[in-house]
């Protein structure tokens, strides 16, 4: 596993490698259903979808795809996407994705306190491993939600997320 303390539940749904591309963005998702990270990990073993990580409401982290491979979590780039996304490139090749368990199908659930803390620490760790800018996403990289690349089909993903608190945490903490 790439992150210490995670539960490995491998998914067969990934692209081996990244076709020479480097990770530049971290994508935050909400599950729009499910009750635990393990339940999502099990789903990723059966369905034609995956993300690298899932964070449960209890703070459990499941890893389903290794970071050096491209998960099948981001679909495609739709009309109205943020300007830096290249609609001719599969966004999975340049991203790492983290799901957050949200039982409501519209992703309206707020993160739990332990889920928030776990998310912030995992994001910091991934950004440091891949030199992803610890900032709001732009053409140079960074962190954003799934809505950024697919505002048509995923406008509700990840739903409520404590963005301001995340960026304050990242500005004030290093893992070293």
Beta strands in the chain (DSSP E): 7-8, 14-15, 25-30, 53-55, 61-63, 70-71, 95-100, 142-145
Name the residue among 67, 78, 7 with its Cα closest to residue 42: 7
pLDDT given at position 1: 86
Q: Identify the pLDDT of residue 152.
A: 87
Give residues with Cβ within 8 angstroms of 101, minimum separation 6.
31, 34, 35, 36, 37, 39, 40, 54, 55, 56, 57, 115
Q: Residue 2 falls within a domain, yes or no?
A: no
Does a structural domain hold residue 84? Answer: yes
Residue 53 in domain: yes
Domain count, the chain: 1
- For residue range 64-98, what is the model confidence (pLDDT) as tens digits? 999 999 999 998 899 999 999 999 999 999 999 99
CATH number for the domain that contains residue 65: 3.40.80.10
- pTM to 2 decimal places: 0.96
Model confidence pLDDT, tens digit, residues 20-79: 999 999 999 999 999 999 999 999 999 999 999 999 999 999 999 999 999 999 988 999
């Amino acid at each position: 596993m790439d992150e210490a303390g995670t539960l490995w539940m491998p998914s067969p749904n990934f692209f081996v490698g990244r076709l020479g591309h480097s990770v530049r963005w971290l994508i935050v998702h909400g599950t729009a259903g499910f009750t635990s990270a393990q339940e999502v990990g099990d789903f990723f073993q059966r369905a034609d979808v995956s993300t690298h990580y899932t964070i449960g409401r209890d703070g459990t982290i499941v890893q389903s795809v290794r970071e050096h491979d491209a998960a099948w979590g981001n679909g495609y780039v739709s009309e109205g996407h943020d300007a830096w996304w290249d609609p001719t490139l599969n966004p999975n090749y340049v991203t790492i994705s983290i799901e957050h368990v949200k039982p409501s199908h519209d992703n309206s659930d707020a993160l739990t306190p332990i889920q928030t803390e776990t998310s912030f620490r995992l994001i910091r760790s991934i950004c440091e491993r891949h030199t992803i800018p610890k900032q709001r996403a732009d053409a140079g990289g960074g962190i954003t939600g799934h809505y950024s690349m697919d505002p048509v089909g995923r406008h509700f993903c990840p739903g409520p997320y404590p963005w301001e608190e995340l960026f304050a945490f990242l500005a004030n903490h290093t893992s070293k």
